[in-house]
């Protein structure tokens, strides 16, 4: 259950909003607590139930921009009108300790990491169909109509980038997708 991944210690998980990245990553962390998930910074407002420092570090735009200027982010990007970034120091500290690190980030950030960490394993999560993606975003019930529209528009772009990734995983049945994710990350005893 807790053998460490054999394929690269930095893993980047990307995929359109609502595809199930958060759900899959939560399942993975539950099964493999040795994995370390980076907590991003964002300028968007917290959703109900989201906790500062746990789901995100919620920053004002000036504070976020100050961190950008200071080189504090490993990567950062604008998504649906808000800024998102990966704090650099904790990721570097975890990697230095030999711990496998997960980043759950959007496409532009994944592209930046590809340049700075070419050895990272990059995975794209896809929905079984665009209609199902829209159902999931709406079903989650966390976003305004405007936010949903922006996320769906961005999803169309992200889904055209498939060829850039080391692997593509379709999140249709959740349990099957979770098992496939474990195998892709090198948890060999997952079958």
Ligand X SMILES: Nc1nc2c(ncn2[C@@H]2O[C@H](COP(=O)(O)OP(=O)(O)O)[C@@H](O)[C@H]2O)c(=O)[nH]1
Ligand Y SMILES: Nc1ncnc2c1ncn2[C@@H]1O[C@H](COP(=O)(O)OP(=O)(O)O)[C@@H](O)[C@H]1O
For ligand X, the closer of residues 130 and 190 by Cβ is 130
d(CA 11, CA 103): 6
Closest approach, Cβ 179 to ligand Y, in A, equals: 12
Q: Which stretch binds ligand Y (CB under 6 A): 13-21, 27-35, 58-66, 70-78?
A: 13-21
What distance lies between CA 89 and its chain's CA centroid?
18
Check the CA dihedral 85-79-113-170 and report its sign. positive
Q: Which stretch binds ligand X (CB under 6 A): 17-25, 27-35, 94-102, 172-180?
A: 17-25
125 binds ligand X, rule: CB under 6 A: no
For ligand Y, the closer of residues 67 and 185 by Cβ is 185
Burial of 99 (0-12, 13-18, 19+ CB in 10 A): middle
Out of 40, 67, 94, 122, name the contact with ligand X by CB under 6 A: 40
27 binds ligand Y, rule: CB under 6 A: no
The residues facing 37 across adjacent strands are: 102
Strands (E), the chain: 10-14, 36-37, 41-42, 57-58, 73-79, 82-87, 101-104, 121-126, 167-170
67 binds ligand X, rule: CB under 6 A: no
**Mask 152-191, x = binds ligand X (CB under 6 A)?**
----------------------------------------
List residues forming the annotated binding site for ATP.
Answer: 15-22
């Amino acid at each position: 259950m807790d053998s460490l991944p054999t394929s690269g210690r930095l893993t980047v998980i990307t995929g359109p909003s609502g595809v199930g990245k958060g759900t899959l990553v939560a399942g993975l962390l539950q099964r493999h607590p040795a994995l370390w998930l980076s907590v991003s910074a964002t300028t968007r407002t917290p959703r109900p139930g989201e906790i500062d420092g746990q789901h995100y570090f919620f920053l004002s735009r000036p504070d976020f921009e100050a961190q950008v200027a200071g080189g504090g982010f490993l990567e950062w990007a604008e998504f649906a009108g808000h800024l998102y970034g990966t704090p650099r120091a904790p990721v570097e500290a975890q990697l230095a300790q030999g711990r496998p690190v997960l980043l759950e980030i959007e496409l532009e950030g994944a592209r930046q990491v590809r340049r700075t960490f070419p050895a990272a394993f990059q995975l794209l999560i896809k929905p079984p169909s665009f209609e199902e993606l829209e159902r999931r975003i709406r079903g989650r019930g966390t976003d305004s109509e405007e936010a949903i529209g922006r996320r769906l528009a961005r999803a169309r772009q992200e889904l055209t980038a498939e060829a850039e990734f080391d692997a593509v995983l379709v999140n249709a049945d959740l349990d099957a997708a979770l098992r496939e994710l474990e195998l892709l990350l090198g948890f060999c005893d997952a079958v």
